[in-house]
Amino acid sequence: MTNLTHLDEAGAARMVDVAGKAVTAREAVASGRITMSAEAAAAIRAGAVKKGDVLATARIAGIMAAKRTAELIPLCHPLPLTRVAVDLAPDETGVTVTATAATEAQTGVEMEALTAVSTALLTLYDMAKALDKAMVIGEIRLLSKKGGKSGDWAAP
């Protein structure tokens, strides 16, 4: 269990002490997808969903969620985010969401990017569920990270 940083020697959950780590520029990119009926996807692309601008609302929800990650995910450090971008790419069968989070801090922003993606996808579902209750959210994953002690990483 010593390789798991959120567990102490006895196996109890703990917040990692980052006090001795250097403040560095860090960035993370995550993505996910919601698939849906062709009709629901067309309505989103056309801006014809009764609840309003689905894509704009999902973008704002993702940004807001990234800023609140430490309140949502136990043991995450609150971070001073310097940038959060949420991009939505609608197509004939759904929407792909990509989020980028950046900071200058002692720990990374992977969870902020993943939280932004997850919340944007949930918002898409909420706003379009009247059109298609069978939508599927999935493929949420980290695409890349930059900075920090462990260096850069990109998904294969």
Task: Provide the sign of the torsion angle of the four alpha carbons 129, 84, 100, 44, taken in this order.
Answer: positive
Q: Which of 8, 17, 87, 126 is catalytic?
A: 126
Strands 81-91 and 24-35, how do they pair?
A: unpaired
Pair of tokens at residue 110: 């992977």
Secondary structure of 50-70 in the HEC alphabet? CCCCHHHHHHHHHHHHHHCHH
Active site residue 87: no
Please name the residues in contact with 110: beta carbons below 8 A apart, sequence gap of 6 or more.
28, 30, 142, 145
> CB of 4 within 8 A of CB of 61?
no
By annotation, the residues acting in catalysis are 126
